[in-house]
Structure 1
Amino acid sequence: MEREELRLRECLERGSNRLVRVMPRAVDLVCGMKIVSRQRQRIVPFAQGDVVEIGFGSGLNLAHYDWDQVRSVTGINPDDGLPRLGWKAIAQQEKPIELLVESAEAMSLPDQVADSVVVTYSLCSIPDVDVALSEARRILKPNGKLFFCEHGLSSRPLVASLQHSLTPPWRWMASGCHLNRDVGALVRGAGFELETYDIYDLGFGSRIFGTHHVGVAVKS
């Protein structure tokens, strides 16, 4: 019995190690698709000044910043395998970019340090998203802005119902990703005022995965 348990433990550890190696590449591949890149282009170029990017990942937003308007970028990302890809992306840039490997729910940055906070395709998977958004508000300067582009809850009742049903198994398969987060409500609940806000379907596959929430929110 002890030998079988040891074999099972070794098998699980090998599977976990493979997942750690494969998942960052898979996330980078999916999030780097052209149709997804076009959504980033709708919001990222409007960030200004000193920017904090929550969910920096593999650095896919770097190509979309308007560097004539941005002084610096500080990326925040947990130790999920993606920072090693993020550092590679930073090394290819001659810009003031820093990557902090830490949780968005407990950022080490001081209060009121950022002119802009950018978050794209990350609010879906942050465990305590309310705390992360409160942290974003804390680090923003007065009148600072939050720029977000996320997938989330559909405004169509039938689709939303399916999203609620599918989220538990999907979270297990997709590293904690939620299909059913109401991004606008979460942002407002964290003390932001929505300046612009758009919900739309990408038009590929199902609305279950492709409902997008894109907007700009002001620290109120």
Structure 2
Amino acid sequence: MPIGVHLICGLPVVTRQRARVVPLASGDVVEIGFGSGLNLPHYDRANVRSLIGINPDDGLPHLARRAIARQDLPAELLVESAEAMSLSSGVADTVVVTYSLCSIPDVLSALAEAHRILRPHGRLLFCEHGLSPKAHIARLQHWCNAPWRALAAGCHLDRDTGSLIRLAGFEMERYDIYDLGFGTRILGTHHVGVARKR
């Protein structure tokens, strides 16, 4: 599964979505759901002072460490849960999360932790697949969710990313919902944007 996740999440169509938000990160950055480090090439070296990746021990940290070693970015990896980070409050200017909120078991706790570790008015940058605003697609997502979760290591098709982020105490600065085209709408409805800590 870790190699499969790395390959699927590294597809060109997915990489293009990452490139919409990751370069906006600045200052001291924490990335939750760091995975195999696929966001590393997208960070703007001129604007990022430090980077801490957070990822559970799901088979991906060894790939992440290799990716970090190949980069010129000051980065480290903490192998721990996003729902209970060991970081002190108010240590980050930016939190980045891409393609991870779908599979974190307690997503509201993870977002509350992101809110906690951000400095006042810090930003959450996100790029996720989730619930479609189109009723007929959303019905299919709900119907397919249970078997998909069993096949895809707990990934949810139908999480309402924007609502979850707002519930965690963020306000949206920019929020786009779009799909990636015919044949991908069940999995390919994307929630991409920037939220500010209230």
Q: Report the TM-score range of the alignment, normalised by the length of the smaller protein.
A: over 0.9
Distance 1:36 1:91 in 2: 23
RMSD: 0.6
Aligned pairs for 1:36-51 within 5 A: 36-51=14-29
Q: Larger relative CO (CA 8 A, sep 6+): 1 or 2?
A: 2
The one-letter code of the counterpart of 2:140 is: L
Aligned match of 1:148: 126
Aligned match of 1:190: 168
User: Does structure 2 conserve the Cα–Cα contact (< 8 Å) formed by 1:163 and 1:208?
Assistant: yes
The one-letter code of the counterpart of 1:166 is: C
TM-score when normalising by structure 2? 0.99
**DSSP 3-state at the match of 1:42:** helix
Aligned match of 1:104: 82
> Cα offset for 1:204?
5.1
Aligned match of 2:105: 127
> Cα offset for 1:67?
0.7
Moved more, 92-101 or 80-89: 92-101
Are 1:80 and 2:49 an aligned pair?
no
Between the two proteins, what is the percent identity of the paired residues?
Answer: 69
Aligned match of 2:47: 69
User: Pick from 190, 193, 197: which aligns with 1:215?
Assistant: 193
Residue by residue over 1:14-38, the C-alpha shift from the partner in whole angstroms, topping out at 9 and shown as x without a partner, is xxxxxxxxx1110010000111000
Aligned match of 2:94: 116
User: Does structure 2 conserve the Cα–Cα contact (< 8 Å) formed by 1:204 and 1:210?
Assistant: no
| Number of equivalences | 198
Detail structure 1 runs of 4+ shifted over 2 Å in the superposition: none
Q: Which runs of 5+ in 1 are unaligned?
A: 1-22
Aligned match of 1:14: none
The one-letter code of the counterpart of 2:188 is: G
The one-letter code of the counterpart of 1:151 is: H
Give the number of the structure whose residues are more often helix, by fraction: 1
Residue by residue over 1:107-152, the C-alpha shift from the partner in whole angstroms, topping out at 9 and shown as x without a partner, is 0000000000000000000000000000000000000000000000
TM-score when normalising by structure 1? 0.89
Moved more, 85-94 or 121-130: 85-94
User: Pick from 135, 138, 149: which aligns with 1:160?
Assistant: 138
Are 1:200 and 2:178 an aligned pair?
yes
Are 1:91 and 2:69 an aligned pair?
yes
Aligned match of 1:180: 158
Q: Which runs of 5+ in 2 are unaligned?
A: none
Q: Which is higher, the Rg of structure 1 or of structure 2?
A: 1
Residue by residue over 1:56-102, the C-alpha shift from the partner in whole angstroms, topping out at 9 and shown as x without a partner, is 00000000000100001100000000001000001111221000000
The one-letter code of the counterpart of 1:148 is: F
The one-letter code of the counterpart of 2:195 is: A
Aligned match of 1:138: 116
